[in-house]
Structure 1
Amino acid sequence: MKKKIIVGSIIIFLFVIGGMITIMRQPDPQQLVILGLENLNKANSFSYALTQQQTVDGKARLLTRITGYKSGENIQIQGQLAGSKVEMIKVGDVLYNKDPFSKAWVKFSDVSVAQKVFLVELNPLASLQLKEIGEVMLKGEKELNSKKCWVCTLKPSVQNQMMETLWTGFEYTLYITRSTKTVTQVEVRAQNKETGEPMTLILEFKDIGRKISIQPPETAE
């Protein structure tokens, strides 16, 4: 009887110690989010995928699905935007847009207007500009693309004027790799200010820090 009590006590003790070690190993959620965003913003290059859905009259509609590449200030994207094909290359202050019908590349020397219209598409980090992070909750771990990630949720106030104008009630879920402490995926949920219907934006980042070459098209009008 005494032996069983001793064995049981040892097992309970080991569970308690194991739980304490797990708690001690967990990072501070707010500092983890700050570091994860800083590391992503400091990255000179990466590839990304962006998907945005919006509910309209109770039906989910795909607004945007693009893949893109960033190298320094240069950006290249292709995919679908509001049901139309889009392909753009930004090199320095010059933007090249491929006409979906003629397939010809059109050159624009003033990129500022396009950057305002295609803010998130040409600058995926724009949706991660936050005024205040707010309370951060650590929701555990998940494996993405064979990488172990911390999962954090927060309800921040955003600094993106276009997003502020259209949406409210932002809820972010960040996936931060354990090995590099860098944000690798972002899920944003919000509600339309006029209709109250939901919007979902998913950003996935890969090839962070790898060399990516982005060149202007060979022919452009």
Structure 2
Amino acid sequence: MKPDAVRAFIARLAEINPEPKTELEFVNAYTLLVAVALSAQATDVGVNRATRPLFALVDTPQKMLALGEEKLRDYIKTIGLFNTKAKNVMALSQILVDRHGGEVPEDREALEALPGVGRKTANVVLNVAFGQSTMAVDTHIFRLGNRTGIAPGKTTLAVELGLLKRLPPEYLRDSHHWLILHGRYICKARKPDCNRCPVYEPCNFPDKARYRTA
């Protein structure tokens, strides 16, 4: 996709949704970190259903440690891989208390050193909690980057770096939200809804005409 088309693509998504937000519910940077860590291989809806009562009681790593792993498992048992995730949340909470004064670090390296926190999770926290222009590439954005031609790549890192390079700087901070929402609700995996696509024109998807008329 040529630079002018890239700009037109992201500008149109920005026009439709000028103040995008994550669909994960959170109270502060700590609860955001926990929610994103829990969301791996799970839906935001499912995570929110589990964390809504949890975050009403627990909003700091100290409170999480006081709650204990067994009770945490009870709250998140409807989420996939909840046993492993509960262990990771308790472990990262202990590290936050021991090494960071109970605060979530505004640093990629420190975040990725936490149990259960990979590059994607760190990018979400840095973007949503701290306003950094990061690009968290999940399955939706990876698919979108390749299907539309906006930033093709064989790995999530390649797509991430491509998007950071190709998207206009003034759009970078919110682009993660625009792209994930577009991939989640319009440019879906099995059957993209090209009939409702607001960025049909700049998109380079070779089969878009077929889906447009389907």
Q: Do Structure 1 and Structure 2 share a fold, with TM-score over 0.5? A: no
Q: TM-score, normalised by structure 1?
A: 0.26
TM-score by length of 2: 0.26
Decide which structure has the larger Cα Rg and report it: 1
Q: Between Structure 1 and Structure 2, which shows a larger proportion of strand residues?
A: 1
Q: Which has the higher helix share?
A: 2
